[in-house]
Amino acid sequence: MPRRLKKRSRKAGLPPGSLIHIGDRLTEKTKITAFDYDESHLQEKEIKTVGECQQFKDSRDVSWIHVEGIHETQILEELGALFGLHPLTLEDILNTEQRPKVEDYGVDLFIVVKLLSYNEKTDEIEAEQISLILRRNALLSFQEKEGDDFLSVKGRIQNGKGRLRRLGADYLAYALIDAIVDSYFSVLEDLGERIVNLEEDLARTPDRTTLFEINGIKKEIIYLRKAVWPLREAVSFLERGDSSLLTPATRVYFRDVYDHTVQVIDTVETYRDLLSGMLDLYLSSISNRTNEIMKFLTVIGTIFIPLTFLAGVYGMNFHYFPELDKAWAYPAFWAVCVVLSVTMLLFFRRRGWL
């Protein structure tokens, strides 16, 4: 099933910073959840209006504003006005075709990553854009649809265990990005199973369906590379950049995310090489099959060449043929044909052509 390209024609001619949603509407209504916490206390609240976020903006604790559903541009515009977000940042949040990146605006870091999942029904990789805005004591996250992708992070905050409640908003950003990168390994496992099954089919009976399957997985690999390769550069900036919003203690953990990203890239490249080899093997198999067919037809044609010659000679309309008057002529003709055929078959078999 081909991917549908998201239209950007609605933004044609508009000035930079115009808030136009580009992408699919993946949730019924925009949902906002707020977490305000430190090591000793936690406040979790579902936000009904953007104005309720004011108390979290001025909080001295770590505040996490999580937005699920970005199609309602008015809500994002109000959030942008409340938190003083740059118009270009809001524009990039609404454009779900962004590549993974990090932009440093001084007072905040704007991070874009792709959350990947594998749809077993369509055998396709689905990507969802996650946008993060990191500030000194706050993190704003924007997700295209409502889901439980960050359920483990929320659970660690609610349980009050581990470093998450003790460290700042930069560590929360790390936890979210780490959860996203971990999802890539699940996608790679599913792709790996498809490739193993495809190798078995290729070894048994390669056919046109096998070729379609190879091309389908190659498209998924290309789609995955587009999400992973830019992420490597983004995580490298978070690990080695000079932003004051990232503490040295958190940069160590981003180094671990960077290592995981490199592992994902290595696996993707390995799968890509395997698919290229499988495509070559498929073409070789088809070529060998064609050669076998041509060899069989050549052997059959070669056997019939002398038989056709004899039939042509004795099929000529000359009046005087010495053998035609003999009673044994007809059986002798067939005997010669059979002996010639058997002799040629034995010769071809002995030479290994059959």
Query: What is the pLDDT averaged over residues 151-165?
Result: 80
pLDDT above 60: residue 7: no
Does 142 fall in a domain? yes
Does 341 fall in a domain? yes
What is the bridge-based pairing of β-strands 62-68 and 138-143?
parallel
Q: Are residues 229 and 131 in the same domain?
A: yes
Q: Are residues 231 and 314 in the same domain?
A: no
Which residue would you say has higher pLDDT here, 21 or 88? Answer: 88
Which residue would you say has higher pLDDT here, 147 or 265? Answer: 265
- Count of C-beta atoms within a 10 Å radius of residue 228: 23
Last residue in a domain, options 242, 258, 284:
284
Does 55 fall in a domain? yes
Q: Among residues 112, 116, 119, which one has the least CA distance to residue 97? A: 112
Q: Report the CATH number at residue 305.
A: 1.20.58.340
pLDDT above 70: residue 16: no
Does 4 fall in a domain? no
Does 222 fall in a domain? yes
- Ranges 1-5, 169-173, 207-211, 276-280: which has the least confidence: 1-5
- Tens digits of per-residue pLDDT, 189-202? 888 888 888 888 77
Q: Are residues 90 and 120 in the same domain?
A: yes
Q: Are residues 245 and 299 in the same domain?
A: no
Q: Are residues 110 and 161 in the same domain?
A: yes
Does 254 fall in a domain? yes
pLDDT above 60: residue 152: yes
Last residue in a domain, options 240, 262, 284:
284
Q: Are residues 143 and 32 in the same domain?
A: yes
Q: Are residues 269 and 306 in the same domain?
A: no
Q: Are residues 153 and 77 in the same domain?
A: yes
Q: Are residues 346 and 235 in the same domain?
A: no
Cβ–Cβ < 8 Å for 226, 248: no
Which residue would you say has higher pLDDT here, 214 or 134? Answer: 134
Total number of domains constituting the chain: 2
Distance CA 50, CA 32 (A): 8
What's the pLDDT band for 10 if we cut at 50, 70, 90?
Answer: low
Query: What is the pLDDT averaged over residues 113-124?
Result: 82
Does 28 fall in a domain? yes
Please state, for a pLDDT cut of 90, what percent of the chain lies above it: 5
Does 155 fall in a domain? yes
Q: At what angle do helices 169-204 and 208-240 cross, to 10 degrees?
A: 160
Which residue would you say has higher pLDDT here, 161 or 175? Answer: 175
Last residue in a domain, options 284, 311, 327:
284
Distance CA 200, CA 213 (A): 12
Q: Are residues 25 and 87 in the same domain?
A: yes
Give the list of residues 6+ apart from residue 275 with CB closer than 8 angstroms, or none: 195, 214, 217, 218, 221
pLDDT above 60: residue 282: yes
Query: What is the pLDDT averaged over residues 33-44?
Result: 84
Domain limits at 72? 13-284
Query: What is the pLDDT averaged over residues 77-93?
Result: 86
Q: What pLDDT, on a 0 to 100 scale, did the predictor assign at position 225?
A: 86
Sheet holding 31-37, edge to edge: 42-47, 31-37, 62-68, 138-143, 124-134, 109-119, 101-104
- Provide the Cα torsion 296, 302, 304, 309; round to 10°: 170
Q: What are phi and psi of 14, to 5 degrees?
A: -85, 150
pLDDT above 70: residue 237: yes
Q: Are residues 227 and 319 in the same domain?
A: no
Q: Are residues 148 and 247 in the same domain?
A: yes
What's the pLDDT band for 21 if we cut at 50, 70, 90?
Answer: confident
**Structural tokens at position 314:** 């004795």
Q: Report the CATH number at residue 104.
A: 3.30.460.20
Look over the chain and give the mean of its residue pLDDT values, rounded to a whole number. Answer: 83
Q: Indicate the residue type of 183.
A: S
3-state secondary structure the chain: CCCCCCCCHHHCCCCCCCCCCECCCCCCCCEEEEEEECCCCEEEEEECCHHHHHHHHCCCCEEEEEEECCCCHHHHHHHHHHHCCCHHHHHHHHECCCCCEEEECCCCEEEEEEEEEEECCCCEEEEEEEEEEECCCEEEEEECCCCCCCHHHHHHHHHCCCCCCCCCHHHHHHHHHHHHHHHHHHHHHHHHHHHHHHHHHHHHCCCHHHHHHHHHHHHHHHHHHHHHHHHHHHHHHHHHCCCCCCCHHHHHHHHHHHHHHHHHHHHHHHHHHHHHHHHHHHHHHHHHHHHHHHHHHHHHHHHHHHHHHHHHHHCCCCCCCHHHHCCCHHHHHHHHHHHHHHHHHHHHHHCCCC
Q: What pLDDT, on a 0 to 100 scale, did the predictor assign at position 1?
A: 43
pLDDT above 60: residue 71: yes
